Chain A
Amino acid sequence: MPKQIHLAAHFPGVNNTTVWSDPESGSHIEFESFVRLAQTAERAKFDFFFLAEGLRLREQGGQIYDLDVVGRPDTFTVLSALAAVTTHLGLAGTINSTFNEPYEVARQFASLDHLSGGRAAWNVVTSWDAFTGENFRRGGFLAESDRYSRATQFLATASELFDSWPADAVVADKAGGTFLRDGAAGTFKHADAHFDISGRFNVPRSPQGRPVILQAGDSDGGREFAAATADAIFSRHGTLDDGRKFHADVKRRLARYGRRREDLLVLPAATFVLGDTDTSAREKAAEVRRQQVSGPTAIKLLEQLWNRDLSSYDPDGPLPSIDPEVSDGHIARGRASVRMHRDPLRTAREWRERAEAGNLSIRDLIIEVTGRQTFIGSPATIAGQIDELVQRDAADGFILVPHVTPGGLDEFADTVVPLLQERGVFRTEYSGPTLRDHLGLTR
């Protein structure tokens, strides 16, 4: 039997992947948009629905960044509401381990798991930046180097809370007058370098026992954290070679923790552009890229490498001849991606050479060097690509990121999913009620 593919739907994000200027683009905050995407995903028998996190509005050059979608709802609240309008779809929320406390997060996820009948998932992310910290009680208390130790202890502590109630603790025997089997249910005590807490957890054990754990880190520390604790890893490696390398690397790490290969799924994020034919899809993809990278956006993205104000430059003109500003401070704040420009001087040199060789404007160059879509083609082409990547162990499935809200998944659901089902690599019905059932994970 071929490997079965797992698919998730990522609500379009607060970044330039999302094309808000499209005439089909709807609200990013009204509940109806969330309902629409979640119900499309459930109709297509997806594993889960996914929400990212950002706890401070992004800034660039000391001002709120205004070119992308801005604004998002509270994760727990919207996922719990979505449980009312779906019946099987997993509900995954990104919740960081820095600006939260284990007792509160554990009861929120346990509550979500109860209220959704066992469909909750937690994407555990780390954060340390003082910029986001300005919205919270404790501010920039955590050193970057401590972020995985806090995340590890946070998750370990939350797991102790999830496990603090036996599954059969609530008896509710009216005649005998016994509500709880054991008067000490929920007792916990945890002390380490980050948390020193004890008492009684107040949510009985949830249908899945604990939420499905996702992890998105890519560094060595992040991969190790995922190998030790996660049920699925949300990766950036969606191409065949890169994906195979990543897949092999994280699966190899599992043995160290006494875990089997099938205990951790690798799910890269993926974007897509569908067309009737491969040619029309390619044309559409190029058009989408131009929508994603408007002239003003191109300048802003260029500034993120140059780390200086480039507002006087013409996006249709050549790249700046001046070099990037190399300093500790950064022009863009509240984004994870700005850390990726490790050697800005060298990257700038490469970009200039590439622009000169291809006679590319700033905008053309930015379109080329940032985020081409993962899958481009006819439904048959994309179904074939996804299947190949999964069968060849570059991934166990994908977290799809539509570029239009809220209807951006409809075409995929209607055209690609049936082809995957025909190939026998994607479910035609849910096999059980919980997200663990969908993902083939043991409880």
Chain B
Amino acid sequence: MANVHLAVALDGTGWHPASWREPDARPAELFTAQYWLDLVREAESGALDFVTIEDALGLQTDRPDGPDERTDHVRGRLDAVLIAARVAPATSHIGLVPTATVTHTEPFHISKAIATLDYVSHGRAGWRVQVSGRAHEAAHFGRRVVGPLDDTQVRELFDEATDYVEVVRRLWDSWEDDAEIRDAATGRFVDRDRLHYIDFAGRHFSVKGPSITPRPPQGQPLVTALAHAEIPYAFVNGSADLAYVTPADADHAREIVAKLNVRHVFADLVVFLDPSARDRLDALDRAAYTSDAAVFSGTAEQLADLVLEWQAAGITGFRLRPGRLPADLRSITRSLVPELRRRGVFREAYEAPTLRALLGLPRPANRYFADRGARVA
């Protein structure tokens, strides 16, 4: 059996809305660097592949159509790219995959932000691409009106996301690795033949390039996205290195995997590694917790069984969403990881220096290098 890959999705005090009331939760520290540093270090102590950090261009809400006025759930969050950057110098091996929304933002800015995260982390950067079809987030920018989220609208959002990722990827390649020459004889700092205009022109935007940031250490930082349905499946097939999917069981996982051609398919799973936790939190919240992903409640041994079963269905890794932070994260690193090691399917220690390498992905050749070679020849 091949090794399984493990990621953890960090969001607030955990994915259950009442998780902030757990005895060891630290809701008052959510907006401090130390809070995030402690979580990512815990994940790194389990040799996990990477953490993702949730984000959005609007306040959390329990309503589908706009912000609510609830005072009993966590509200407010810090920018995920900045959290990842803040944590990077204080960690050494774990991949850092912040969420960044493409719908209202600039591909030029995100490209250099993720490239710079790759520099400050020495090759551990990734990106979770997210679209926003929420009208209240659009109102924070005032540049477009978002209608009801029908298929046409969803197609449009992912069409823009496809162009966006293309621009970001071209910008990452817009400097060849050896563009900086520092040639004393001619006084040239760069060889401009190794810098490339990307000249992207699409329906949503045009971007000239090159990037202002040289090609990042991994060449192409890891591009990831969550996909629940056909339109996003098509998007990840064309644009991502890794997809997060939400199977209900192993058979469903097999069906989804068959539709995807990305190198890695990670199953998203909400986990409570204390069989009584979910009910206790539901009682506090006076509501039954539901999720877009399957919800697991049980022991580390039972979760390891599920991991192996879904792995056999073609899932290459898991993005576990801890119901409670730090409790379920600790159970992942201190109980699940040792259990998976006993079964011989998880690394004993980090064996590669970059996130791509941890996932068995090569450092890609630069798309523009071949062009130049052809021109010269």
Q: Does A139 contact B (CB under 8 A)?
A: yes
Give residues 182-233 of B contacting A (CB, 8 Å).
182, 184, 186-192, 195, 204-210, 212-214
B117/A77 in contact, CB under 8 A = yes
How many residues of chain B have a CB within 8 Å of chain A? 80
Contacts A66-B192, A80-B85, A165-B76 given; indicate if A21 touches B184 (C-beta within 8 A): yes
Query: Cβ of A69: which chain B residues have Cβ within 8 Å of it?
Result: 189
Give residues 304-321 of B contacting A (CB, 8 Å).
none
Complex CA distance for A83 and B84, rounded to whole angstroms: 12
Query: Cβ of A73: which chain B residues have Cβ within 8 Å of it?
Result: 112, 115-116, 119-120, 213
Closest to B89 in A: A84
B73/A179 in contact, CB under 8 A = yes
B75/A78 in contact, CB under 8 A = no
B189/A74 in contact, CB under 8 A = no
| Binary interface encoding of chain B residues 93-118 relative to chain A, with 1 for a CB under 8 A from any of its CBs, else 0 | 00000000000111011001101110
Give residues 288-346 of A contacting B (CB, 8 Å).
294-297
A198/B20 in contact, CB under 8 A = no
Determine chain A's interface SS by DSSP, over half rule.
loop
Q: Does B325 contact A (CB under 8 A)?
A: no
How many residues of chain A have a CB within 8 Å of chain B? 77
A70/B69 in contact, CB under 8 A = no
B59/A186 in contact, CB under 8 A = yes
A355 to chain B, nearest CB (A): 22
Closest to A108 in B: B79
Query: Cβ of A201: which chain B residues have Cβ within 8 Å of it?
Result: 59
B119 to chain A, nearest CB (A): 5
B189/A111 in contact, CB under 8 A = no
Closest to B119 in A: A31
B213/A199 in contact, CB under 8 A = no
Determine chain B's interface SS by DSSP, over half rule.
loop
B73/A111 in contact, CB under 8 A = no
A202/B69 in contact, CB under 8 A = no
B78/A115 in contact, CB under 8 A = yes
B27/A55 in contact, CB under 8 A = no
A54/B140 in contact, CB under 8 A = no
Interface centre among B33, B73, B120 (most CB of A within 10 A): B120
Give residues 133-157 of A contacting B (CB, 8 Å).
134-137, 139
Closest to A297 in B: B187
Among candidates A63, A183, A203, residue contacting B71 with C-beta atoms closer than 8 Å: A183
B208/A174 in contact, CB under 8 A = no
Complex CA distance for A55 and B117, rounded to whole angstroms: 18
Binding site for B on A (CB under 8 A): 20-21, 29-31, 35, 54-57, 63-64, 66-74, 76-78, 80-81, 83-85, 99-101, 103-104, 107-108, 110-112, 114-117, 134-137, 139, 165, 170, 172, 174, 177-186, 195-204, 206, 294-297
